[in-house]
Chain A
Amino acid sequence: MQAIIECQNLTHYYGTRCIYTNLNFTVPKGRILGLLGKNGTGKTTTINILNGFLQPKEGNCLIFGEPSGKLSPEVKQKIALLLEGHVQYSFMNINQIEKFYSAFYPKWNKTPFYELMRKLKIAPNQKIANMSCGQRSQVALGLILAQDADLLVLDDFSMGLDPGYRRLFIDYLNEYIRSEGKTVLVTSHIIQDMERFIDDCLILDYGKILIQIPVDELLKTFRKFQFTHNENHIDWNGLDIYNPEITRNHAEFHAFSNSIDIKSLLLQSGIQFTNLTETQLTLEDAFIGLTGKY
C-alpha cells in the first residue's frame, strides 16, 4: 500500500538530550495512525518534524514523497493541520474564516462546515475569540472537513475538551474519514478516545519506538497476568514480559501471550504461583502495560 508518510532514521536531540535515534515508521494510505507516548517521549517533536517546523538532526521525513520541511503548495493543499489547542485566527468570525480559507483550497466544500456550525447553533457572525474551547474545536474540525484534504495531522485534538465535545469531535471525524478513505496521523493524551478511532498505534518510549501495531492485534494479543506467590523475591530476568510489579504476595505483569504459555513460562523459570488470571485490556490499559505507570 502506498505510504503517505515515511519517516526514515529520524534522530533528534535538544542540546545533549536525546529524544530518539533512528526512528522509522510509515503511515499507509487510508490508515489512521495514533502516535502515543508519555510526556517527553517525542510526540510533539515528531509532529513538528512532520509539519516542517523542526529539522531533525538526522534522517528524513517524506509526506506524499516530498521532504516535510520543504513541502510544495500543491502538497500543502492535501494536508489538513490541526494544531494543539485548536489554534485559529480568533479575530475572525465564522463567515470570515470560511471565506479566508476557501481562497486557498481548490477542493473547498463549505457545506459540511456550515452544517456543523448550524448543529452547534454557532451564528455565522460569531467571533472565534468569544467561543468556548469546545466550540473552537468544532470550528477547527469544520474547516478540516471543508478543506477535503487527503492527509489529516491532528495534534492533541482532545486537549481542553469536555467528554461531550470529545465524543462529538471523534464521531464526526470518524464518519468522515472512514467514508472518504482519508489518511490520519493523530496524537492525544486521552487514550480511551483513540481506541474508538485509530487503526494502528505507534507507541513511543524514551528514545525509541516501543511498538507499532494495529490496535485490533494489540488488544487481541496483549494481556495482563496476575498471580499469587509466597516468595520474597521473583527473578523476572530473561522473561519476555512488560512492567512486572509485586505488591506483597500479589504479582502482575503484561505480555503478548496467553495463560497456557505463561503458565509454562513461569514453571520453566521456577516461579511458584497460584491463582494465575489473564485479563483482556483496553487500549489505555495496554498502553500503561507497555510503558509502565511512571
Chain B
Amino acid sequence: MVISLLAVALMLHLYLFSKMGRAFRIAGKEHVWDVIVNRNQFFFSDLRFFPLLAGTLTGLFQFIPEIIQNRLKLMLHLPLTEKRIITCTLAYGSGVTILLFLFQFAALLTGLQIHFANEIIISTVYTVLPWYLAGITAYFLCTAICIEPSWKHRLVLLLISIGLLKIFFISGFPAAYQKIIAYLPLITLIGISTVIHSVIRFKTGMQD
C-alpha cells in the first residue's frame, strides 16, 4: 500500500511539473509568473486532496484488518504497556504517512527552486502545508473511527472528522492559512486525542 501511494505521489509530481513545463512552453515563463504573482493563481491545486487521501488510506489499511480479524485484542495483550503499544502503532502509521509527505514535499521544493523566486516558493509552502496537515490528521481520525467499538459512535466520529478536516480546505487561495498555520496542528492534536478516546472505549468494551 505504501509503495502504491509512493508511486501515485511520484506520478502526481511528474504530472504537475509536466503541466508546468507545457505552460512555460505554450504561454511563456513571463505569462506564468504574471498569472501566479498578479492573479493569485496556484499552480499545484491538483495536489490538494492527495495528502488527505493518503492519510485516510494509510489509516484504513493499517487498522481495518486488525478490526475485521479481531487482532486488536491480540495486539493489546502483548506484554507492553497499552500506552506503548498504541504509541508504537500510531508512530508507525503516522511515520510512514509523514515520510511519504516529506518525500513529495522535498520533490516539490526541488522543482520549485529551479523555476521560481523565494517569495513564490514560500507562498506555495504556506498553501500546501495545511493539506499535508490534513493528511496527517485524517490518518489519526480514520484510526479513531476504525478502533471505535460502536457503529453509532463511529458515525458521530465520522461527522466530527469531516467537520475538522473541512477546516483545512476552507480556502484554496494561495497562502490563505499563513496567519493561522501555527494553530492548525491543534486540529491534529484533536485527531490524536480522538484515537486515545476510541482506545479507552474499546478497552472498556463500550457498545453504545
Contact = CB atoms under 8 A, between A and B. Distances in A.
Contacts of A55: 203-205
A69 B204 contact: yes
Interface in A77-103: 77, 79, 81, 83-85, 87-91
B2 to A, nearest CB: 15
Contacts, number: 54
Contact of A88 (B74, B77, B79, B207): B74
Interface stretch (B65-73, B92-100, B138-146, B171-179): B65-73
Interface size on B, as a range, is 10 to 19
Is the contact region of chain B dominated by helix, strand, or loop, or is it mixed? loop
A14 B71 contact: no
A53 interface: yes
Interface in A6-41: 14-15
B38 interface: no
Contacts of A79: 77
Nearest to A100: B78
A55 B202 CA distance: 10
Nearest to B80: A73
A74 B79 contact: yes
A89 B73 CA distance: 12
B124 to A, nearest CB: 39
B70 A53 contact: no
A131 to B, nearest CB: 14
B205 A54 contact: yes
Given A73-B81, A104-B79, A51 B204 contact: no
A88 B70 CA distance: 9
B208 interface: yes
A105 interface: yes
Interface of B: 65, 69-71, 73-74, 76-81, 202-205, 207-208
Interface of A: 14-15, 48, 51-55, 69, 72-74, 76-77, 79, 81, 83-85, 87-91, 104-105
